[in-house]
Amino acid sequence: MDVEVTVQHAADDEPQPPPDDDDFERWVVRVAETLDRPLALTARLVSAQESQQLNRDYRGRDKPTNVLSFPFEPPPGIDWQDPYVGDLALCSQVIHQEAVEQGKGAREHWAHMVIHGTLHLLGYDHQNHDEAEAMEALEIRLLAGLHIADPYRTPGETEQS
């Protein structure tokens, strides 16, 4: 599958090294293969300060967040055929902190955030219950293909819980 992921390392406050650039590409390939479409995007690893500024400026929330998605929108009247879908801003500090708090492996949580953000770039959302269920089900399926457990289950929870 035709995938291009440009990873920008802009954070100087990472609590531990982020995944390899190849990991980012592998996770986006999983989305591209499942949805049968080529994808190109930029994943920018940002500091907590940059994440907070972006979150405040674009979402009105004055705190750092795990991932922000900035879908590319071609100018009106342009028939855009390029696979470029937009940019992700991923905050290493928040992703690491969430993984610890949620009892998840850091690499698995990174994979989830990259897939989650990529789906947002493709128009998936979770603003209402039905959208959230559809997006979460797709995320679970994509992650399962990478041998990553359901990120919406708490550690130790079984299907019967």
Binding residue numbers for Zn(2+): 116, 120, 126
Return the SS3 of 87.
strand
Calculate Rg over the CA atoms of the chain: 16
Looking up tokens 């289950």 gives 153
Q: Which residues are annotated as a binding site?
A: 116, 120, 126
Cα gap 148→145, rounded to integer Å: 7
Burial grade of 98 (CB within 10 A; 0-12, 13-18, 19 or more): middle
User: Which phi and psi angles does 129 have, rounded to 5°?
Assistant: -60, -45
Nearest to 66 by CA among 42, 45, 87, 41: 45
Amino acid making up residue 69: S
Give me the half-sphere count of Cα atoms (radius 13 Å) on the Cβ side of residue 144.
10
